[in-house]
Amino acid sequence: MTVRTSTWDPADRLKSPERIAGYLEAAFEDGDPALIAAALGDVARARGMTALANETGLSRESLYRSLSADGRPEFATILKVMRALDLRMQPVPVGAE
pTM: 0.84
Cβ pair 77, 58 in contact under 8 A? yes
Please, what's the largest Cα pairwise distance for the chain? 52
pLDDT value, residue 97:
61
30-57 confidence digits (pLDDT tens):
989 999 999 999 999 999 999 999 999 9
Q: Tell me the average pLDDT of the chain.
A: 91
- The Cα 52–Cα 5 span in angstroms is 31
- The Cα 65–Cα 24 span in angstroms is 19
Q: Which of residues 97 and 60 earns the better pLDDT score? A: 60
- The Cα 94–Cα 20 span in angstroms is 22
Cβ pair 44, 62 in contact under 8 A? no
pLDDT at 81 over 70: yes
